[in-house]
Amino acid sequence: MKEHWRQGKHDRISELKSTLMIFVIVILFALAMYVVGQQIESSSESAEPHGDLSRRFTQVPAVEYGDNLYCPHTRLTTILVMGIDQYAADASQNTFYRNGGQADYLLLLVIDDEAKTITPIQIDRDTMAEISILGVLGSEAGTRTEQICLQHGFGDGGKQSCEFTQQAVSRLLLGVQIDFYVALDMGGIATLNDAVGGVTLTLQDDFTSLDPTMLPGATLTLHGIQAEYYVRNRMNIGIGTNASRMVRQQTYWEGLASQLMTRLETDGNANFIGNLFDQLKPYLITDMKRGRIINEAWSTRKYERFSTLHPEGTYSTGEDGFVEFAANPAALSDLVIQAFYSKVL
């Protein structure tokens, strides 16, 4: 019996030792996993905090202007639309980094996704502004003050020229951010016009030297090259100034925008914009992806479109005999505040 008791005790001790051993092993294993896990976590990039509200009350920098405080709009998308006075074929023969063609039409679209508005700002091609000059081998050769349209002439006639123009317009408008550019050469005007079924307007000037049907006072739907005549030509049209051409360009733009939006509403989808983009592709230089353009057009179709803003200033003739438009600095500041800021109440 005593033997039996001793055996039983021995068995219990062994069992206890085994259990303890297993327990220790499990603990050691868990500890090892913890240490390894910590090492892995510290060697990888630190994870973004989720639900971090510490920046909730960070203030957007305000500017003092006049007697008031203004805050910049925070949900803006800005797109610089350019009309280039050149056909794509001419641009492909670009040499000397100076034949990119002039940006004769400049329109900055300021899209406010919070207020659901679009503010167009049309800039005179003859606005005197700081532009970047390239040497004939493409090296940067300084800056000078010239008509802003000339900026696009420097560069490759494509992306580089567009980026330089984007920077020049940003500088002119006191450093505002310009998110995207869309440049259309002359070959695209008729295609764009006809894709929307033609833009209907009333002619104020006599275009009969170009097309006998384009009589002053006539209300007609422009087709094909008529659209190019209307927005591009100015010599021997009316008083022949760029200012009068800008009025026609604004009229055309507003008619075009209206027809585009109507088409989107009628179709109930944005397929038309995608098709239009594909048709215009041979004439377009843009840093906007196809999908972005489609989404932007669709999401803004019901936004309120404000009247086009024009920087105020004065015209003169430079010593080289060319027209110069000097934008009034105070008026420029007013315009930037109006389009990009709102008063802090």
Partner 1 sequence: MGKKRFSLLLALVLLCTCMPAMAATYSKTTRDLIRIISTTTDNGTPLALFIPEPGAKGVFEDEFDGIETYMTKNSSMLDYFSKDVKTAIAALQPQGADLSKLTLTEYTPFQRTNYDPVMGTVVATIAFASPFTADQTLAVLVGYVGKDGKMVWIPLEAAVTDGSLALSFPPEVLKELPTDIVIAVLS
Closest separation in Å from C-beta 215 to partner 1? 20
CB pairs under 8 A, 24+ apart, for 315-319? Answer: 315/126, 315/243
How many C-beta atoms surround the C-beta of residue 5 within 10 A?
9
Q: Which is nearer to partner 1, 99 or 295 (CB)?
A: 99
Q: Which is nearer to partner 1, 72 or 238 (CB)?
A: 238
**Structure token pair of residue 335:** 């315009």
Closest separation in Å from C-beta 124 to partner 1? 11
Q: Which is nearer to partner 1, 154 or 283 (CB)?
A: 154
Contact 60, 344 (CB under 8 A): no
Q: Which is nearer to partner 1, 202 or 236 (CB)?
A: 236
Pairing of strands 76-84, 180-185: parallel
Rounded Cα distance between 253 and 276, Å, is: 16
Contact 180, 76 (CB under 8 A): no
Closest separation in Å from C-beta 311 to partner 1? 19
Closest separation in Å from C-beta 93 to partner 1? 11
The DSSP 8-state label assigned to residue 206 in this structure reads -
Cα dihedral sign, 305-307-308-310: negative
Residue ranges binding partner 1 (CB under 8 A): 85, 96, 98-100, 102, 104, 125-126, 133, 135-137, 139, 141-144, 146-147, 149-150, 153-154, 234-236, 239-242, 317, 320-323
Contact 107, 309 (CB under 8 A): no
Q: Which is nearer to partner 1, 197 or 216 (CB)?
A: 216
Q: Which is nearer to partner 1, 164 or 340 (CB)?
A: 164
Q: How many CA atoms lie within 13 A of 174 on its CB side?
A: 17
Closest separation in Å from C-beta 224 to partner 1? 23
Q: Which is nearer to partner 1, 150 or 182 (CB)?
A: 150
Closest separation in Å from C-beta 206 to partner 1? 13
Q: Which is nearer to partner 1, 172 or 336 (CB)?
A: 172
3-state secondary structure (DSSP) of residue 320: coil
Contact 248, 230 (CB under 8 A): yes
Q: Which is nearer to partner 1, 48 or 320 (CB)?
A: 320
> How many angstroms separate the Cα of 4 from the Cα of each of 11, 172, 215, 242?
11, 103, 126, 117
3-state secondary structure (DSSP) of residue 220: strand
The DSSP 8-state label assigned to residue 241 in this structure reads -
Q: 3-state secondary structure string, 90-154?
A: HHCCCCCCCCCCCEEEEEEEEEECCCCEEEEEEECCCEEEEEEEECCCCCEEEEEEEEHHHHHHC
Closest separation in Å from C-beta 85 to partner 1? 7
